[in-house]
């Protein structure tokens, strides 16, 4: 994200669709500075595809947050760690 913000700030221009979509998670998590947040908000106000993208992402995040958490099966973590160690050693 820093690379994207750097390009965006150097150009000192409004974000394009690719930039808005790359910033969308940070936008929804409220992790953007005020100016960038306002620019993303303004862009999605007039850009139907970006507005739809943002609404879809917002709905997806909401569904994921509302999904009940489940515990991994017994021994799962150990098997994953063993597999990682095995691949590192290969």
Residue 46 corresponds to which tokens in the numbers above?
Answer: 């007039």
Q: What confidence category does residue 84 fall into, taking pLDDT thresholds of 50, 70 and 90? A: very high
| Within-domain flag for 86 | no
pLDDT at 2 over 60: no
Could you list the residue range(s) of the whole structural domain that residue 53 is in? 2-67
Tell me if the pTM is above 0.85.
no
Residue 88, in any domain of the structure = no
Residue 28 lies in a domain: yes
Q: What is the DSSP string of 25-88?
A: HHHHTT-S-HHHHHHHHHHHHH-HHHHHHHHHHHHHHHHHHHSPP-PPPTTHHHHHHHHHHHHH
Number of separate domains in the chain = 1
Quick one: what percent of the chain has pLDDT higher than 90?
78
């Amino acid at each position: 994200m820093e690379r994207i913000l750097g390009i965006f700030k150097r150009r000192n221009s409004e974000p394009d669709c690719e930039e808005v979509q790359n910033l969308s998670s940070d936008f929804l998590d409220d992790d953007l500075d005020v100016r960038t947040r306002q620019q993303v908000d303004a862009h999605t106000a007039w850009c139907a595809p970006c507005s739809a993208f943002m609404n879809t992402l917002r709905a997806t995040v909401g569904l994921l947050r509302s999904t009940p958490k489940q515990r991994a099966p017994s021994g799962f973590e150990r098997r994953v760690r063993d597999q990682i160690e095995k691949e590192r050693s290969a």
